Structure 1
Amino acid sequence: MRGLKRKWAIILTLSMLFSILAACASSSPSTSEQPEAGSATGSNVNKEGFPIVNEPITLTMMAKDAGMKNWSEMPVIQEMEKMTGIKFEFRNAPLDSFDTKKNLVFASGDYPDVFYAAELTQDEEVRYGGQGVLIPLEDLIDEYAPNIKKILDENPEVRKSITTPDGHIYSLPRIDLSAVWYRGPMWYNGEFLKALNMDKIPETTEELYTYLKRVKEEDPNGNGQADEIPFSSVKLDDVRMFMLGWWGIYGEVIYADKDHNVHYTPMQEGYKGYLTFLNRLWNDGLMDKETFSQTDDQKKSKGKNNQLAIFSDFHPYFTLGGDPNPEDELMKPLKSEIADSPVYGKHPGLSRGAFAITSSNKAPEATMRWIDYLYSYEGAVLFDLGPEGMLWKYTDKDNRVKETVPVEGDREEFRATLTPNYGIVTPGIVNNDVQKGLKTDYDEFLIKENEEKLLPYAKVPYPLVYLTAEETEEISKLRSDLDTYVKQMEAKFVIGQEPLTNWDAYVEQIKKMGGERIEEIYQAAYDRWNQNQ
């Protein structure tokens, strides 16, 4: 189970890496120092089959690197070079210094031929695409990327979400149309449910309140002490989006309703309902008093001490310790006094900015063919699992059924030596057949829990849109102050430092600080996205 834990722990860590800037890693040789390559234009590129090029070529790649093994020594990279005729020399940087080095590369003008797993921001795409640093990809997709083209043709919302305001596609995404979670959902401690004879989990906020009160009063961990903590969080960041859905809101900052109207969440009546409920839990001793001061590790320590009844995490055993346990139940979105039925903010299934080709690249056609392979079933298998025979093998190739191959030590750490797709957001598509035959019983349990408890209520809050440069600048200025104010007031309302009778004054202050203007800007971007054909 260590491998499974590590895999999900890394996914959880990704959400915290996006804004980290640290010291710059040492630079690799510049493009001018790379070996000369054969021409990759015209007759040198095969539009179908392998190799991709008749004469081998060498390109440079800049990527995030989890640091498990030199990429050039990985079997997946070696297999791709042998199959395609394209060799990459890597100018990678560690996870914690990649953003710094990426910024320096853009400033220097010494660009790699491609960016891989670079998590390019929408501002970087718009800015450097408009400057010609990143080249448009749509014509290359039409001519050299049948797998990507098929996905975009069958999913027009994906195409709209990667097309910038000037009508071009400058980067390729990670696509997982089966994705459900934005971040870890909320869970019940199964041992507490059993001790309190809960034959069904709560379906309304009132039922949840009653359950939490029982946790506080009836010693479900059985140690004879009143040390149970009914509900724990880390500054509410881990539970906010999940809980807002109980009052009909499915975006932390903005969301678009069924009539395509965009709303700024902290101004909505449903947000007030969310604050009111949390304030009730706080006042009645049902909420962890260290919620606004503790770290995630401190919360997990309480879980491993069997003190927590409900909490958020990617998997409950990350907090409670031990092995995966299906008795730790996924929380179902709850009905409240405001919403007729709850909603759940679903992941849009896209992570933008995963792959881009720069103006330094002398072989864009061959490069597009190379990356297109990662959007096929075969490419997804190779890059996610490594070559056949190392971690897995087919038991029924025609039906894509596989079984695991035993390895010494931790399977995930071994996988990280086979493929670069480890601990980073990589280009490609998540194909459910990749894991066919390899899923554990707990994997199947999670799929069933999602299908039964979350998907019936799931809505994407707001699509991935592009703001113009002017809109981006204005939003950044507005949110710089508003985000701080809203976060401070959230804590004050919950702990009672600010009475909820001051709600109207709070909303008026948000409007003065630009809350309605934020709605207008995101509404305009949403309307452009909706009209984009």
Structure 2
Amino acid sequence: MKKQQKNRIYRTITVILLVTTLLASLTACKGSNGVNSVEPEPGGFNKEGLPIVDKPVTLKVLTVRWVSMGVSFTENQWLKDLEKNTNVKIEWQVMSSNDWSERKSIMLASGTLPDIILGSQTFGDADIVNNLSLFRPLDDYIEQNMPNLKAAMEETPEMKKISTFPDGKIYSLPARLPSRPKSSRQPVINKTWLDKLGLKVPDTIDDLYNVLKAFKEQDPNGNGKQDEIPFIELSNDLISPFGIADLNNNFMVVKDGNAVYYPISEEYKEGLKWESKLFKDGLLDKEVFTQDETMRSAKFLNPDAPIVGFSYQWTPDAMFGKWSDQYVTIPPIAGPDGKRYTVGNPYGMNLERNELLITTSCKYPEIAARWADQFYTNEASIQNFWGAIGTVIKKNDNGTYTLMDPPTGTSADAWYWEQSLRDFGPKYVSPAFEKTIFLNPKTGDGLKLQLDKLGSDYTTPPFPNVMYTAEEFQELPTLTTDIDSYVNTMRAQFIISGVIDEQWDDYVKQLRGMGLEKMVKIRTDAFSRYMGVE
């Protein structure tokens, strides 16, 4: 009997020890926010103020840069000061966009990621949604460790809206860029040609047609050849006068508060008729369907004489090289309904998501979150968008900020990319703070803001950058690959041959047979979820 009691005692003690061990292991695998494996923060972790840690900690940060941009941004003085002030050392892993797609696939398949992913060009929505186990939900970190971002989201609620995934959680951090325009590309015309031919700036599509016809027939570049190309490219901008302002190139627009697939609309059909008229009369480049970007660029930069009459560009100097002085930006062209439409966003093209992710490989997520939060102050943000104060930005005694001129021989935009993270990475510049920033109105971002005044009043809310579920991401590519290809093929055919009602009916019927309703439902469901997020 005593032996049986003793055995029961031993078994009880064993069970208690096993339970205690299990609870201890679960606690070790669960951080203060209850997400995946987290090691205790190193000694001297400070929940407020700087440094973030008393003893240096190293975090690995991965970002992707365009091929020619290099790693000079890491010498940004603000980043260097941040490392010193926080005691968080950064081991930068800078990948080239050239081979990133292949390397990204290998990295996601292996599940081995650095601590932090920086920049929306690194991982997109589908990469994140289809690999959620690799990324930490950040809601609790924002609440407990990121007062700057929390305040920014309260001031600009749209930042939280664009960052909320279909499961209601935030996995990636947003950005609000400073001094961004509302309009995207705008009409640009050769003013020298207009003056030579005694023509006024076109106001309507009929005016534009007559101007382009004169450009083709009257030798405005004066070289004795009929080499002028009135309009060189096919884009969404060309049909924007018909009320189609497709900012995100996904064939969706918002009309009367509803998401609309426009390639089967009457407005699109009328736009195709307009494009067909231009093509048949030789006012569209005859190689518009066959040339690549290199061929098109060569025409913009034609060394002997300017040959392009009209285009849509970010700024007049964006494409025309030594001929840039001949070109001016003009107001949007009025459409058949007498109204003007500009591709863009009336709320500003300044909000982005997926600018920073903390991976489940990160042992110290609280440190990573506090480090990321340092980017969400006004001064930090402008220095990570243009360059450091004292290098690119001058801080004036009256509390304003002035961008310095770039070195001789360097464009402003190229200089900003060399000196900063530029478009990528977390940042927040408040609307009030933007008023303290002074830009050169003759170049770079300052010039674009000046030109924006011509078109900003005519922008309409675009189909937003919605978020899809994993299941939707599985279905969408299969549908959009075939449907988008067919729409583009038929656009070319309609432009070349003209739009005949019977062919149009067959075109719409074919789209419906390819699963158009299913694709539109996926997009409109995502739109409804997006609009419903508080």
Common fold: TM-score over 0.5: yes
Question: Is the counterpart of residue 427 in structure 1 residue 426 in structure 2?
Answer: yes
Partner of 2:28: none
Question: Is the counterpart of residue 125 in structure 1 residue 128 in structure 2?
Answer: yes
Name the CA shift for 1:78/1:315 in 2 (closer, same or farther; >3 Å).
Answer: same
Partner of 1:447: 449
For 1:345, what is the secondary structure of its paired residue? coil
Question: Is the counterpart of residue 106 in structure 1 residue 119 in structure 2?
Answer: no
Offset, 1:159: 1.3
Equivalent positions of 1:301-320 (< 5 A) are: 301-304=298-301, 305-320=305-320
Native 8 Å contact 2:314 2:448 kept in 1 = no
Offset, 1:88: 1.2
For 1:352, what is the secondary structure of its paired residue? strand
Equivalent positions of 1:25-424 (< 5 A) are: 40=41, 44-48=45-49, 50-66=50-66, 68-69=70-71, 75-119=77-121, 120-129=123-132, 131=133, 133-176=134-177, 179-180=180-181, 184-199=185-200, 201-233=201-233, 236=234, 239-240=235-236, 242-251=237-246, 252-304=249-301, 305-322=305-322, 325=325, 328-337=327-336, 339=337, 341-347=339-345, 348-394=349-395, 396-402=396-402, 404=404, 410=410, 418-419=419-420, 421=421
For 1:280, what is the secondary structure of its paired residue? helix
Separation in structure 2 between the aligned mates of residue 248 and residue 406 of structure 1, nearest angstrom: 39
For 1:460, what is the secondary structure of its paired residue? coil
Native 8 Å contact 1:144 1:369 kept in 2 = yes
Offset, 1:155: 2.4
Separation in structure 1 between the aligned mates of residue 243 and residue 284 of structure 2, nearest angstrom: 22
For 1:297, what is the secondary structure of its paired residue? helix
Deviates more, 1:119-128 or 1:406-415: 406-415
Name the CA shift for 1:209/1:71 in 2 (closer, same or farther; >3 Å).
Answer: closer
Offset, 1:491: 0.8
Q: Which has the larger radius of gyration?
A: 2
Offset, 1:434: 9.5
Name the CA shift for 1:266/1:186 in 2 (closer, same or farther; >3 Å).
Answer: same
Native 8 Å contact 1:69 1:416 kept in 2 = no
Offset, 1:517: 2.2
Offset, 1:38: 10
Offset, 1:191: 1.5
Using structure 1 for the length normalisation, give the TM-score.
0.82
Which digits, 9 at most, give the CA deviation of each residue in 1:191-249, with x for residues without a partner?
212222334x222111111111111222211223222111111xx2xx22x22321112
Matching residue's letter, 2:117 = F
Q: RMSD across aligned C-alpha pairs, in angstroms? A: 2.9
Partner of 1:17: none
Using structure 2 for the length normalisation, give the TM-score.
0.82
Native 8 Å contact 2:159 2:175 kept in 1 = no
Deviates more, 1:344-353 or 1:97-106: 344-353
Matching residue's letter, 2:442 = D
Partner of 2:24: none
Matching residue's letter, 1:113 = D
Native 8 Å contact 2:162 2:465 kept in 1 = yes
Separation in structure 2 between the aligned mates of residue 336 and residue 406 of structure 1, nearest angstrom: 40
Which digits, 9 at most, give the CA deviation of each residue in 1:262-301, with x for residues without a partner?
2112111111111101100111111110111112332233
Runs of 5+ in structure 2 lacking a partner?
A: 1-37
Deviates more, 1:327-336 or 1:106-115: 327-336
Separation in structure 2 between the aligned mates of residue 427 and residue 459 of structure 1, nearest angstrom: 27
Native 8 Å contact 2:273 2:499 kept in 1 = no
Name the CA shift for 1:189/1:376 in 2 (closer, same or farther; >3 Å).
Answer: same
For 1:344, what is the secondary structure of its paired residue? coil
Partner of 2:6: none
Separation in structure 2 between the aligned mates of residue 177 and residue 268 of structure 1, nearest angstrom: 36
Separation in structure 1 between the aligned mates of residue 215 and residue 408 of structure 2, nearest angstrom: 43
